[in-house]
Amino acid sequence: MAHYAKVDQGKVLKVIVADEDYINSFVDTEPGNWIQTSYNTRGGIHTLGGTPLRKNFAAVGMTYDAEKDAFIPPKPYASWVLNDTTCLWEAPVSHPNEKGEGYRWNESTISWEAL
């Protein structure tokens, strides 16, 4: 069994668990294509040490970039930039690494704020 994302015009519409034979043989009358995704892949790394697949596990609302062969989450803030290696969005300012403190992003000041 594997996970497959239904993608139409670059948008992930649904994700299912199915056998490859099922995906290859059933008649799907809805527009789009089924693209395999890996539950254990995040940021281009397979969490169990296996081979990563398409940078990130697909979820509804994500996009699929065929050129990068990657699933990309929605952009959280206008100022954030896409890391082409991980296909994850990153803040333009590094996250503080102070232990015991929580932080949240403030888009109006383009900075992290302590909670």
Q: Residues 8-67: pLDDT tens digits? A: 999 999 999 999 999 999 999 999 999 999 999 999 999 999 999 999 999 999 999 999
Please report the pLDDT score of residue 52 as a whole number.
Answer: 97
Average pLDDT over residues 58-87: 98
Please report the pLDDT score of residue 16 as a whole number.
Answer: 97
Cα-based distances in Å from 7 to 3, 15, 64, 69, 103: 13, 9, 7, 12, 34
Average pLDDT over residues 91-111: 91
Please report the pLDDT score of residue 80 as a whole number.
Answer: 98
Please report the pLDDT score of residue 23 as a whole number.
Answer: 95
Residue 100 pLDDT greater than 80, yes or no: no
pTM higher than 0.85, yes or no?
yes
Please report the pLDDT score of residue 99 as a whole number.
Answer: 74
| 56 strand-pairing partners | none
What is the rounded CA–CA span in Å between residue 10 and residue 65? 6
Please report the pLDDT score of residue 109 as a whole number.
Answer: 98
What is the rounded CA–CA span in Å between residue 104 and residue 22? 43
Please report the pLDDT score of residue 98 as a whole number.
Answer: 74
What is the rounded CA–CA span in Å between residue 72 and residue 54? 9
